[in-house]
Amino acid sequence: NPRSDDALFVNFTINSTNAIGEPSFTEVGLVQVTPSGCHNHRDGANTAISKLNNDNDGRGVAIGYFGTTFIKFRLISIIGGNSNNIGNDAYSVVHEEILDEVFQNVDNVHFMLGSCSFASANDKPMALKHAKIVL
């Protein structure tokens, strides 16, 4: 079976080029900014990322035809403040400023996990400005 032989060869090649003998992985950055009241939204993202990163004996999500390269996710989850205390207008400004800072200072963040429904409009301006994808 040529596929099995190729898979063994690819695995061997990847492992032989890695100094510690582990398959390679790529880290993908995600950012999420939410109001303080959106704990379920933050918990869900954290649970999902933890599960995905622990797949395949902690190597992350397998990708590619042979599944010998892996992706791990880095979640940056930030509480932007309490919109009930400071008001929606002030919260919107803070939300956008935080996203702007993250996109300017963290190189591998290309995706944004959308905020709670009522705060999700705050994601769009920075997604457009920095050409990022909102999930």
pLDDT one-digit tens code per residue, 2-49: 333 333 333 333 332 344 455 677 899 999 999 999 888 899 999 999
Give the 3-state secondary structure percentages of the chain, helix then strand then coil, rounded to 5.
55, 25, 25
pLDDT one-digit tens code per residue, 65-117: 888 899 999 999 999 999 999 999 999 999 999 999 999 999 889 999 988 88
- The sign of the CA dihedral 114, 117, 122, 125 is positive
Q: Is the pTM of this model over 0.85?
A: no
Bridge partner residues of 134 (DSSP): 112
| Residue 85 in tokens | 């205390």
